[in-house]
Amino acid sequence: MTRDPGTYALVLALRAETELRVGKLGTFVFPAGYYLYLGSALGGLRARVQRHQQRDKRTRWHIDYLLPHCNLVEVWAILSGERLECLWRDVVQSLPGARIAVPGFGSSDCRCPSHLIYLPSLPAFDMFQGRWCRGGIRRVVA
């Protein structure tokens, strides 16, 4: 499964308000709460998620600036050769209390306003899966 393509959502918890510089996007204040980062890994889902879990790595993507300050709560993933992160972003954006965390975060290769969504409380996987309607999503508690 190491080379299997897929789409994933990282469910992150940020315990305290944090000010961070995110590459060329600039400096932002991240309120305490939960964040969902939506991404795809067409070259290998497992390897991408494992990279996100590493603490010591080169800063490559916007999410690499935020991850050291968060706890990874869960990973939601689906095996698919289709890029689904933009569709998932739309579903996550429809969850109660969801709002764009940082404009342009993780979305430089698409037209989405952001691939990082802030939620004041832990997002419910069942609610997300129910709104997704296609099935096939696995939930891994970190």
> Domain containing 118: what range?
6-141
Give the max Cα distance, the chain.
Answer: 37
On whether the CB atoms of residues 38 and 88 are closer than 8 A, the answer is yes
Residue 118, pLDDT score: 98
1 belongs to a structural domain:
no
Task: Name the phi and psi angles at 40, rounded to 5.
Answer: -125, 155
Q: How many domains does the chain have?
A: 1
Q: Report residue 69 as tokens.
A: 């300050």
Q: Report residue 70 as tokens.
A: 């968060």
10 belongs to a structural domain:
yes
Asked if residue 21 has pLDDT above 90, the reply is: yes
Q: Which has the closest alpha carbon to 117: 39, 46, 5?
A: 39
Which of the pair, 112 or 137, is modelled with greater confidence?
A: 112
CA separation for the pair 88, 8 (Å, rounded):
9
38 belongs to a structural domain:
yes
94 belongs to a structural domain:
yes
Residue 142, pLDDT score: 61
Which of the pair, 55 or 72, is modelled with greater confidence?
A: 72
For 76-97, write each residue's pLDDT tens digit.
999 999 999 999 999 999 999 9
12 belongs to a structural domain:
yes
CB under 8 A, 24+ apart: contacts of 100-105: 101/28, 101/30, 101/35, 102/22, 102/25, 102/28, 102/30, 102/62, 103/25, 104/25, 105/22, 105/25, 105/62, 105/63
For 60-74, write each residue's pLDDT tens digit.
899 999 999 999 999
32 belongs to a structural domain:
yes
CA distance from start to end of the chain: 19
